[in-house]
Amino acid sequence: MSYWLVKSEPSVWSWDQQVAKGAKGEAWTGVRNYTARQNLVAMKKGELAFYYHSNEGKEIVGIAEIIKEAYPDPTDKTEKFVCVDIKAHKAFKTSVTLVAIKAEPKLAEMALVKQSRLSVQPVTPEEWKLVCKMGGL
């Protein structure tokens, strides 16, 4: 069981829109980076991912679940990249801001802090537990 973190600009696709899709979920398309692609491919059905809002908010707002493993991204004309389907799993009671993450020494190694540009990242079990706690879950 691996844990992940996916990023979205709320102006493009927000948590609320994801929630509105319900159990059916939505294709997580638009990844055009090979490191992120590798992470997408490694995702297994049923695994969980933090849902992070970049630019606006800069906070983790909830948890999504992978409901379909990697397949070719229909929005990619070059046919090199893949996407997965995810659905909203659980909202945080309180969102965990980037500021709060940076203020927590145990989270200093998070990819979110170290590789801020990577849009699909792995999260360690320790980080997962702590961030869930900070989010009120």
Task: Encode 53-62: b = buried (16+ Cβ within 10 Å), e = exposed.
Answer: bbeebebbbb
Q: Is 33 in the site for DNA (CB under 7 A)?
A: yes
Please tell me whether residue 9 binds DNA under the rule CB under 7 A.
Answer: yes
Minimum distance of DNA from residue 34's CB (angstroms):
4
> Cβ 70 to DNA, closest distance in Å?
16
Stretch that binds DNA, among 41-49, 85-93, 98-106, 124-132 (CB under 7 A): 98-106
Q: Residue 99 interacts with DNA (CB under 7 A)?
A: yes
Q: How many chain residues are in contact with DNA, going by CB under 7 A? A: 18
Ranges within 101-130 binding DNA (CB under 7 A): 102, 114-119
55 vs 94, beta carbon nearer DNA: 55
What are the backbone dihedrals phi and psi of residue 45, each rounded to the nearest 5 degrees, phi first?
Answer: -55, 135
Cβ 38 to DNA shortest distance, Å: 11
Question: Of 34-63, which residues contact DNA (CB under 7 A)?
Answer: 34-35, 54-55, 58
Minimum distance of DNA from residue 53's CB (angstroms): 8
Shortest Å distance, C-beta 33 to DNA = 5
Q: How many residues are given for the chain? A: 137
